[in-house]
Each structure stands twice: as structure tokens, then as C-alpha cells.
Amino acid sequence: MIRARTLHPGIASGEPITLTAPLSFWGGTDEQGRIVDAHHPQCGTILAGRVLVMESGRGSSSASSVLAEQIRAHTAPAAIILARPDAIIALGALVAHELYGLATPVVVVGRPAYDDLPTDHPLRVTAGPLDATITW
């Protein structure tokens, strides 16, 4: 079990996908939840329903609206684990919760625990108002 800080509460589980570079949901993913940024090392990877593990997002305030729409359409990651806080990603989850009643957990795990997250087991993120746990 790894403890984390909650940016947006919720409970979700899924197969992890660890990105090797930051990603912007705006222009970086499509409506199916696939990475379409041709410059991203994991272009073509589907994020939908998986637990997304990445250092941080990569800008554009519009990314929050894209993430909110993917959450509504059930093509977003099931949960997002970050190494650094990202207000844009947290905002997307918050907007989706307020508009659509769908809770996608977004949490921050500091180092070295971030590097210890397994990549070969399903992860479960349980995020309360302040604190979260990640289990497998």
C-alpha cells in the first residue's frame, strides 16, 4: 500500500499505464481516450479505463475540459496518479464531478513511493477528501 494526497476524491481500479513523458489531454488524446500526440513516446496507447501514472500533465488550460468530457463519455482514465500536483487535471475531474456526478480520483504520490508503484498488477485508488491509498 502507498499513501497519497488527494487532488480529487473517488474510488477506482484498473490496469496501470505509466507514461514516460507528460501529456496534455487537449490535443494529446482523442475522444476514445487514445494518445494521439505524434511526439509522445506512447502515441497510440489507450488510457480509457486504466489507472494513468505520470509525472504531471503538460499544460493547456483547455485540457481540463477535454478530461471532463472524456470522463462523461467513459473514455477517460479510471484514476490518475501524479508525481507532482497538476491543477488543470484536478480541475477536469472536479468539473466532471460537478456536471455529471462522476468521480475520477486524482492523487499525488511523492518520491520515492511514485517510483515504487507496480506496473504489472491492477491498482486500486481510494481517495478521500484529503488522503488516499493505492493498493494492488
Q: Work out whether strand 2-8 and strand 16-18 pair parallel, antiparallel, or are unpaired.
A: unpaired
Q: Is 56 an annotated catalytic residue? A: no
Nearest to 104 by CA among 66, 70, 134: 70
The two most distant CA atoms of the chain are separated, in Å, by 36
Cell of 48: 480509457
Nearest to 81 by CA among 50, 122, 53, 123: 53
Which of 56, 60, 62, 65 is flagged as catalytic? Answer: 60
49 torsion bin: left (phi>0), alpha (psi -120 to 50), beta (else): left
Cell of 32: 476514445
Residues labelled catalytic: 60
